[in-house]
Chain A
């Protein structure tokens, strides 16, 4: 199964863009990249996902390299409320028709005032 590698922690100034990298060099062609975040010890919250193309929604942008071996989550204007642990996850299809979401240890993002 594909694994992900993320930096342990990052800081970002409030109002600036936060760029969170993720390596997933063993990802297969049909496996999606998902990003979640976890604020304090709440349940993880979905942010965005993608397969090949770059994606954007109201929360963030996801840039996936052409070889799909890495991606970057971009929070365009980070606020203090974006301080959280961000997980880059590869979604693997099972034979049962469900999906396995492989969580790593994530990146602890601290947004500084």
Chain B
């Protein structure tokens, strides 16, 4: 039981490049979330998915797209990366109670 896994762990992009962050959970949870965490700050919600086939915007969705591929997987795509998107990205899943977080992806955009 791996919980929530994220790939890659680290990534460096140039401005304007695109990439997809992958997230998978093996706890059969319906809800999944993408957060970003900037230095010294708390987590801010980018997008979430209440169930397979549905996605909704969070606090800071601009510049991102998501796909809930199936119940297990929820990906986050940056179509044209900007330096302001340099951050640590966390994926989480939950059922009714607490959220379970992945280890994070450290993204640097130069």
Contact = CB atoms under 8 A, between A and B. Distances in A.
Chain A: interface size category: 20 to 34
Contacts of A103: 35, 42-44
A46 B104 contact: no
Interface residues of B, number: 28
Interface of A: 34, 41-46, 49, 87, 94, 96-101, 103-106
Interface stretch (B11-19, B66-74, B94-102): B94-102
Q: Is the interface of A mostly helix, strand, loop or mixed?
A: loop
Contacts of B109: none
Contacts of A49: 97-98
B31 A98 contact: yes
Interface of B: 4, 31, 35, 37, 40-45, 48, 50, 54, 56, 58, 88, 90, 92, 94, 97-104, 106
25 contacts: A34-B98, A41-B37, A41-B104, A43-B4, A43-B90, A43-B92, A43-B102, A43-B103, A43-B104, A44-B43, A44-B90, A44-B101, A46-B98, A46-B100, A49-B97, A87-B43, A96-B50, A99-B94, A100-B58, A101-B45, A101-B99, A103-B43, A104-B42, A105-B41, A105-B42
